[in-house]
Amino acid sequence: MVCVGNDLVADDAAGFEVYRKLAGSSLPPGVTLHYAAVGGIDLLDYLTGDESAMIVVDAVQFGAPTGTIHNLGWNELPDFGAGAISAHFIGLKETIDIGRCLYPELIPSTVLLVGIEGRRFDQTRDAMSPEVAAAIEPATASIREHLHTLRQGT
């Protein structure tokens, strides 16, 4: 699992906040948790080929109300073009596509995005939207449900 986001930038810190919640609790055996201050193609650095599933947590801009939690499989990710999904220039969908071409043995067969809809990406950390702050705990609960479901599937 990779939580993505700049912990110094308003709503972009959503992934970091979810990471903090998960890092401070017990996770199922075999689950690895990473924090990445940047996303995009750098996410490939967190793939080792040992994972059968990958959960990526990030702030997103899909046009939904601020604070909306999106739980999407790889095939459900909108294809807006590079950079539209993430504020990190190359979105998750493009990163996975590139990874599947370059390193097919490393890309997990299941990739899930838990995205929190943000709106403030040009302000400092103390300006996190209240809706995004309120979504951190439910997003963390959603991830725990995904982990339980994934574990049952193995």
What whole-number percentage of the chain has pLDDT above 90? 48
**Which residue, chain included where needed, has tokens 């459900």?**
76
Domains of the chain, by residue range, sit at: 2-153
Cα dist. 105→50, 66, 110, 133 in Å? 9, 36, 13, 37
Please tell me whether residue 27 adopts helix, strand or coil conformation.
coil
Q: What is the pTM for the complete model shown? A: 0.86
For residue 153, give both structure tokens: 């599937």
Sort strands 2-4 and 53-60 into parallel, antiparallel or unpaired.
Answer: parallel
pLDDT in tens, 77-124: 876 554 444 444 567 778 888 888 888 888 888 889 999 999 999 988
**Is the domain covering 2-153 a CATH 3.30.499.10 domain?**
no
